[in-house]
A and B are shown apart, each in its own frame.
Chain A
Amino acid sequence: MDDQNLVLVKNLKIEGLADEKWIPIVNGIDLHLKKGEVLGLIGESGAGKSTIGLAAMGFTREGCRISGGEIYFDGIDLVNADAKTKRSLLGKRIAYVAQSAAAGFNPAHRIIDQHTEGPVQHRVMSVQESRNDAIELYRKLQLPSPKEIGFRYPHQVSGGQLQRAMTAMAMSCRPDMIVFDEPTTALDVTTQIEVLSAIRDIVEQFDTAAIYITHDLAVVAQMADRVKVLLKGDQIEEADTVTMLSDPQEEYTKSLWAVRTFKRPTKPMVSSTTTPIVSLKGVNASYGKTPVLENVNFNIHPGRTVAVVGESGSGKSTAARCIVGLLPPTAGDVLFNGIPLPAHYKKRTKQDLQKIQMIYQMADTALNPRKTIFEIIGRPVEFFLGLRGKEKRRRVEELMEQIEMDPMTYIDRLPSELSGGQKQRIGIARALASEPSFIICDEVTSALDQLVAEGILKLLANLQDSFNLSYMFITHDLATVRAIADEVVVMKNGEVIEQGLKDDMFQPPHHPYTELLLSSVPEMDTTWLDTLLESRQVDKTVQNH
Chain B
Amino acid sequence: MILVYLIISIVGIFALGWLFRWTGQKISWPKEEWNIYFRDMSYLVGVGFIFGVALILFTLYVYFILQIKFFVWGVQLLVICGVSGYIFRFLGRRIGTEGSRKLFRSMPVTAAFGILTVILYALLAVFADFIAPYEQDEIFEVINALPGGNPDLGGDPRFLLGTDQLGRDLLTRLIYGAQNTVGIAFATTVFSFLIGITGGFLAATLGGWVDQVLSRAVDALMAIPQLIFALLLMTIATAWAGSNKVMIMVYMVLIIAVLDSTRVYRLSRAVGLNIVVMDFIEAAKVRGETLRYLLFREILPNAMAPLLAEFGLRFCFVFLTISALSFLGIGIQPPLADWGTMVRDLAQFINFAAFSPLTATLPLLAAGAIALLTVAVNFIVDWVLHKSSGLKS
Chain A interfacial positions (CB closer than 8 Å to B): 82-83, 324-326, 345, 348, 350, 353, 356, 358, 360, 362, 365-371, 379-380, 383-384, 414, 416-417, 430, 434
Q: Which 7 pairs, one residue from A and one from B, show the smallest C-beta to C-beta distance?
A: A370-B301, A366-B279, A360-B279, A83-B40, A365-B278, A368-B280, A353-B288
Q: Cβ of B280: which chain A residues have Cβ within 8 Å of it?
A: 365-368
Smallest Cβ distance from A19 to chain B, in angstroms?
A: 10
Q: Which residues 35-69 of B sit at the A interface, judged by CB distance below 8 A?
A: 36, 39-40
> Per a CB cutoff under 8 Å, which of A325, A353, A358, A369 touches B302?
A369
Q: Which of B282, B287, B289 contacts A326 (CB 8 A)?
A: B282
What's the Cα separation between A237 and B123 when bound, in Å? 67
Can you list 21 pairs linking A and B with CB atoms under 8 Å apart?
Answer: A82-B36, A324-B286, A325-B286, A326-B286, A345-B288, A348-B288, A353-B288, A358-B286, A365-B278, A366-B283, A367-B280, A368-B302, A369-B302, A370-B301, A370-B304, A380-B287, A383-B288, A416-B391, A416-B393, A417-B392, A434-B287
Residues on B with C-beta less than 8 A from A326 are 282, 285-286
Please report the C-alpha to C-alpha distance between residue A486 and residue B40 in the assembled complex, in whole angstroms.
62
CA distance A208 to B211 in the complex (A): 56
B393–A353 contact, CB under 8 A?
no
B interface residues, Cβ below 8 angstroms from A:
36, 39-40, 278-280, 282-283, 285-289, 298, 301-302, 304, 391-393
- Rounded to whole Å, the gap between the CB of A271 and the closest CB of chain B is 32
Minimum C-beta distance from A245 to chain B (A): 38
Q: In whole angstroms, what is the CA distance A493 to B279 when docked? A: 24
Query: 11 more A-B contacts (CB under 8 A) besides A365-B280, A366-B279, A368-B301?
Result: A326-B286, A358-B283, A360-B279, A365-B279, A366-B278, A369-B393, A380-B287, A383-B288, A414-B393, A416-B393, A434-B287
Question: What A residues does B302 contact at CB under 8 A?
Answer: 368-370
A379 contacts across to B, CB distance below 8 A: 287
Q: How far is the CB of B21 from chain A (nearest CB, A)?
A: 14
Q: Tell whether, in the assembled complex, residue A416 and residue B301 are in contact, meaning their CB atoms are under 8 Å apart.
A: no
Contacts of A367 in B (CB 8 A): 280
B279 touches A371 (CB 8 A): no
Q: How far is the CA of A366 from the CA of B304 in the complex (A)?
A: 19
Chain B residues contacting A358 (CB-CB under 8 Å) are 283, 286
Within the complex, the shortest CB–CB distance from B208 to chain A, in Å, comes to: 13
State how many angstroms separate the Cβ of A266 from the closest Cβ of chain B. 30
Q: Is the CB of B298 within 8 A of A368?
A: yes
Residue numbers in A under 8 Å from B278 (CB-CB):
365-366
Please report the C-alpha to C-alpha distance between residue A353 and residue B279 in the assembled complex, in whole angstroms: 16
Nearest residue (CB) in B for A375 is B297
| Interchain CA distance A83-B41 in the complex, whole Å | 9
Taking a contact as CB atoms under 8 Å apart, the answer to whether A371 and B301 are in contact is: yes
Q: How far is the CA of A380 from the CA of B304 in the complex (A)?
A: 24
CA distance A384 to B286 in the complex (A): 12
Determine the residue in chain A with the shortest Cβ distance to B391. Answer: A416
Roughly how many angstroms separate A142 CA and B40 CA in the complex, as a whole number?
42
Question: Could you say which of A82, A350, A369, A434 has the most chain B C-beta atoms within 10 Å of its C-beta?
Answer: A369
**A416 x B392 contact (CB < 8 A):** yes
Question: Smallest CB–CB gap between B84 and chain A, Å?
Answer: 27
Docked pose: A324 CA to B284 CA in angstroms:
12
Instruction: Point out the residues of chain A lying under 8 angstroms from B36, CB to CB.
Output: 82
Inter-chain contacts of A83 with B (CB < 8 A): 40
Alpha-carbon gap, A101 to B256, bound state (A): 48
> How many whole Å from A168's CB to the nearest CB in chain B?
32
Greatest chain A CB density within 10 A among B39, B287, B289 is at B287
Question: In the assembled complex, which residues on chain A have CB atoms less than 8 Å from the CB atom of B301?
Answer: 368, 370-371
> When chains A and B are docked, how far (Å) is the Cα of A326 from the Cα of B277?
12
Bound Cα distance from A414 to B302, whole angstroms: 13
Nearest B residue to A417 by beta-carbon distance? Answer: B392
Q: Which residues of B contact A348 (CB under 8 A)?
A: 288
Greatest chain B CB density within 10 A among A324, A370, A414, A417 is at A370
Residues of A within 8 Å of B279, CB to CB, are 360, 362, 365-366
Could you tell me the distance between the alpha carbons of A324 and B279 in the complex, rounded to whole angstroms?
A: 13
Known: A368-B302, A416-B392. A383 touches B283 (CB 8 A): no
Q: Do residues B288 and A350 form an inter-chain contact, with CB atoms below 8 A?
A: yes
Checking B39, B40, B287, B298 against A383 with a beta-carbon cut-off of 8 angstroms, the contacting residue is B287
Instruction: Give the complex CA separation of A450 and B280 in angstroms.
Output: 25
Q: Which chain A residues lie closer than 8 Å to B298 at the CB level?
A: 368
CB of B287 within 8 A of CB of A414, answer no
Smallest Cβ distance from A316 to chain B, in angstroms? 16
> Please, how many angstroms separate the alpha-carbon atoms of A430 and B279 in the complex?
13
Docked Cα-Cα span, A56 to B282, in Å, equals 43
| Residues in chain A near residue B282, CB distance under 8 A | 326
Within the complex, the shortest CB–CB distance from B308 to chain A, in Å, comes to 13
**Alpha-carbon distance A526/B282, docked complex (angstroms):** 43
With A83-B40, A345-B288, A365-B278 as known contacts, state yes or no: A370 contacts B393, CB within 8 Å: yes
> Which chain A residue lies CB-closest to B281?
A368
Looking at B36, B40, B393, the one whose CB has the most chain A CB atoms below 10 A away is B393
CA distance A246 to B286 in the complex (A): 48
Given contacts A370-B393, A416-B392, contact A430 B283 (CB under 8 A): yes
Q: From residue B231, how far is it (CB to closest CB) to chain A in Å?
A: 41
Task: Give the chain B neighbours of A368 by CB distance below 8 A.
Answer: 280, 298, 301-302
CB closest chain-B residue, reference A414: B393
B104 CB to nearest A CB, Å:
15
Closest B residue by C-beta to A368: B280
Q: Please measure, in the bound complex, the distance between the C-alpha atom of A370 and the C-alpha atom of B304, giving whole angstroms.
A: 10
Q: Which residues of A contact B288 (CB under 8 A)?
A: 345, 348, 350, 353, 383
Q: Which residues of B contact A417 (CB under 8 A)?
A: 392
Q: How far is the CB of B302 from the nearest CB of chain A, in Å? A: 5
Decide if B285 touches A383 in the complex (CB within 8 Å). no
Q: Which interface residue of B36, B280, B286, B301 has the most chain A CB atoms within 10 A?
A: B280
* B87 → A minimal CB distance (Å): 24
Residue of A whose beta carbon sits closest to that of B392: A416
A369 to B40 CA separation, bound complex (whole angstroms) = 41
**A380 vs B287: C-alpha distance when bound (angstroms):** 8
- Specify which chain B residues have a CB less than 8 angstroms from the CB of A356 in the assembled complex: 286
CA distance A285 to B301 in the complex (A): 34
